[in-house]
Amino acid sequence: MFRQFTSNQKYIVATVYVIAMVLNSLDSTIVNVTLATLGREFGVPASEVEAVTVWYLVSLAVVMPASGWLADRFGTKNVFLFSLAVYTLTSFAAGFAQTLDQLVFWRIVQGFGGGLLVPVGMSMLFRTFPPAERISVGRVLMFATILGPAIGPILGGAILEFASWPWTFFVKVPVAGSALLFGWRYLRDERDDIPAGKLDWIGFVLGGGGLGAAMFAMLQGPDMGWANPVTLICGLGGLSALVIFVWHELRTSAPMVDLRLLTNRLFSSTIRVSFFATIGFMGVLFVVPLFLQEVLQASPLHAGLATMPEAVGVVASTQIVARIYPKFGPSKLMGSSMLAVTIAILAMVFFTSANLPLWMIGMIMFTIGAGMAGLFLPNQAASMATIQREKLSGASMVSSVQRQVGGAVGVAVTSTVLSIIGVTTVTAGGPEANMLAWKAALVVAAVATFIASCMGWLVPDEDAAETMQRGA
């Protein structure tokens, strides 16, 4: 059976892609749980220990724009295995950090590896599976999308309760290491006949530097303040660099990022839906665990268990979405599903209080997860149906970047709302939870998912017809 499995390149690519997605989604959720413990361990305030997450995401953003060129130049297998090796080694090294500076250094290096994993893995996936098969394989691959956010808080909380913080990094080593050996032995190198050409260094500096600076500003703005000189310089400098980057890429004959991909009607429409959906979804995943711990005084482990029904909802709904996709197509599924998510978030706004029972949060999170499956699966199946094979690496990079930026915007906007309104109010009896701040943050997330719903209805089903074939 194993020999039959390893002789089929589709099984091999799906396996390594799932592992890459799990590692990527698991990373931020499991590390976020450890931040308070790391602050106590290294004797630094919370504002400083957040650098462990911030600089990882910044380095991720810096290297990601080059992922398409690297995959085309050196082959998807070589780049994927190199990035996985970097991720594995730095996970091991991070667990032995003796100071916060050492830990941040290894997280920066780890980001350079992690920034290539998902876009290159996605490129391998779409090269291997034709459009007609993507909805079927998506039923399995969807587990990778939700597994990390689902088990990350639970796993992190359990590790901190029964072991120590280094194990939040060590636990990923055997998984990543096994995938590295498996991929080295069985993955087939995929290259197109068209040469990648020279690296567009100007585009790399402008795109990577601009995206990294903008991400830093978005992640630090809520804590440092949006009027802080560092935030302003990074934010305005990053946006300026990205504007020049767009101008340069559209004028050069060999761009690092083919921005003309965004003129593809189906690809651009699914990108827009995914961007706003990610803003709302990541905003909810940021606000709800924080509310559980800050207001309801739940432990990280209990907060993870209370939000886990979201993952169950995705798993349960994915099987249904896959069956009805050929009949309804991506537009109706994404539009109606994101509307359902919006209603569920607004229901949480209505019921949010200092006495909100955990079972009710679980029910609402289950509904949100079930709705998100109606976005994840159709979007993944349809997005690159009309992209030419030789342009898949670039399209995968653009798709990965929009998800990273969307997630950062979701966290930045909701955390800014919490900081501006204030999560506590002072009364005669002392400070107490300010429900208005938590409700307002959730409303912002609901607005983003509603915009995604409106855009979802506009996705051209006729362009995705090949992915809607019965029996695919």
pLDDT digits (tens, 9 = 90+) for 256-271: 777 888 888 999 999 9
Quick check: 451 pLDDT over 90? Answer: yes
Indicate which CATH number applies to the domain containing 345: 1.20.1250.20
Q: Are residues 43 and 142 in the same domain?
A: yes
**How many C-beta atoms surround the C-beta of residue 334 within 10 A?**
30
Q: Are residues 178 and 288 in the same domain?
A: no
List Cβ neighbours of 21 (8 Å cut-off, separation of 6 or more): 118, 121, 141, 144, 145, 148
DSSP 8-state secondary structure symbol assigned to residue 422: -
Are 62 and 245 in contact by the 8 Å Cβ rule? The answer is no
Please say which residue of 179, 199, 219 terminates a domain: 199
Q: Are residues 330 and 452 in the same domain?
A: yes
Q: Are residues 195 and 326 in the same domain?
A: no
Please give the average per-residue pLDDT across 181-193, as a whole number.
77
Q: Are residues 177 and 244 in the same domain?
A: no
Quick check: 418 pLDDT over 90? Answer: no
Q: Are residues 425 and 293 in the same domain?
A: yes
pLDDT at 145: 64
DSSP string, 301-368: HHHHHHHTHHHHHHHHHHHHHHHHHHHHHHHHHHHHHHHHHHHHHHHHHHH-STT--HHHHHHHHHHH
pLDDT digits (tens, 9 = 90+) for 9-48: 778 888 888 887 777 777 767 777 777 778 888 887 766 7
Q: Are residues 94 and 215 in the same domain?
A: no
pLDDT at 470: 56
The pTM of this model reads: 0.82
Quick check: 183 pLDDT over 50? Answer: yes
Q: Are residues 410 and 380 in the same domain?
A: yes
Q: Are residues 245 and 137 in the same domain?
A: no
pLDDT at 294: 77
Hey, is 425 helix, strand or coil? strand
The more confident residue out of 338 and 251 is 338
The two tokens of residue 447 are 């607005």
| φ, ψ for residue 432, nearest 5 deg | -145, 165
Are 82 and 94 in contact by the 8 Å Cβ rule? The answer is no
pLDDT digits (tens, 9 = 90+) for 323-368: 888 888 899 999 999 999 999 999 998 887 777 788 888 899 999 9
Task: Determine the Cα–Cα distance for residues 219 and 216; give it in Å rounded to an integer.
Answer: 5
| φ, ψ for residue 184, nearest 5 deg | -60, -35
pLDDT digits (tens, 9 = 90+) for 109-131: 998 888 888 888 878 887 887 77
pLDDT at 3: 65
Task: Determine the Cα–Cα distance for residues 243 and 211; give it in Å rounded to an integer.
Answer: 11
H helix or E strand, kind and range, residue 393: helix 392-421
Total domain count, the chain:
3
Q: Are residues 113 and 231 in the same domain?
A: no
Quick check: 152 pLDDT over 80? Answer: no
pLDDT at 149: 67
pLDDT at 471: 46
Q: Are residues 214 and 118 in the same domain?
A: no
Quick check: 137 pLDDT over 90? Answer: no
Size of the chain in residues: 472
How many angstroms separate the Cα of 440 from the Cα of each of 217, 221, 282, 410? 22, 18, 15, 13
End-to-end CA distance of the chain: 24
Task: Determine the Cα–Cα distance for residues 402 and 381; give it in Å rounded to an integer.
Answer: 17
Highest mean pLDDT among 1-5, 41-45, 174-178, 454-458: 454-458
List Cβ neighbours of 167 (8 Å cut-off, separation of 6 or more): 95, 159
Q: Are residues 239 and 305 in the same domain?
A: no
Please say which residue of 156, 175, 199 terminates a domain: 199
Instruction: Note down the domain range covering 246.
Output: 205-255
Task: Determine the Cα–Cα distance for residues 442 and 432; give it in Å rounded to an integer.
Answer: 19
Quick check: 193 pLDDT over 60? Answer: no
